[in-house]
């Protein structure tokens, strides 16, 4: 158990819908990262937040957005869903950015039908 929690574990929805994935980092960790794992794209970095502010953006679609709240939990919002958005979405956390270990949550498996 990494200490990072993600809800829900599984999500099945239809094309065009909007979903919200939630992540609670390890106690004391200020930085949160979101990654997408899919068969065709592999593991890709989406976005990073540090202490409530966006720190870095990766290959995140405009239909996707995220935020980190004052209690440091984070949410990833996916809208206008397409079949290709089906993937495993991981959240990770670390104390601060800069070479330290990132602790990964168990992931949310999103299936878009």
Pick between residue 52 and residue 97 the one whose CB is nearest to other proteins. Answer: 97
The answer to whether residue 94 forms part of the interface with other proteins (CB under 8 A) is: yes
The answer to whether residue 93 forms part of the interface with other proteins (CB under 8 A) is: no
The answer to whether residue 12 forms part of the interface with other proteins (CB under 8 A) is: no
| Minimum CB–partner distance for residue 15 and other proteins (Å) | 25
The answer to whether residue 13 forms part of the interface with other proteins (CB under 8 A) is: no
Binding mask 42-71 for other proteins (x = CB under 8 A): xxxx--x------xx-x-------------
Q: Are strands 87-94 and 31-38 parallel, antiparallel or unpaired?
A: antiparallel
The answer to whether residue 28 forms part of the interface with other proteins (CB under 8 A) is: no
DSSP code of residue 83: G
Contact 24, 75 (CB under 8 A): no
Q: Are strands 53-57 and 108-112 parallel, antiparallel or unpaired?
A: unpaired
Pick between residue 51 and residue 80 the one whose CB is nearest to other proteins. Answer: 51
End-to-end CA distance of the chain: 31
From CA 40, how far away is CA 84, in angstroms rounded?
A: 9
């Amino acid at each position: 158990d990494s200490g990072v929690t993600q809800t829900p574990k599984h999500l099945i929805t239809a094309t065009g819908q909007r979903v919200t994935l939630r992540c609670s980092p390890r106690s004391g960790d200020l930085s949160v990262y979101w990654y997408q794992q899919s068969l065709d794209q592999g593991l890709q970095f989406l976005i990073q937040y540090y202490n409530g502010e966006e720190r870095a953006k990766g290959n995140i679609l405009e239909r996707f957005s995220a935020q980190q709240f004052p209690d440091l939990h984070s949410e990833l919002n996916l809208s206008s869903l397409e079949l290709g958005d089906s993937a495993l979405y991981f959240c990770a956390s670390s104390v601060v950015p800069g070479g330290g270990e990132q602790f990964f949550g168990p992931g949310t498996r999103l299936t878009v039908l």
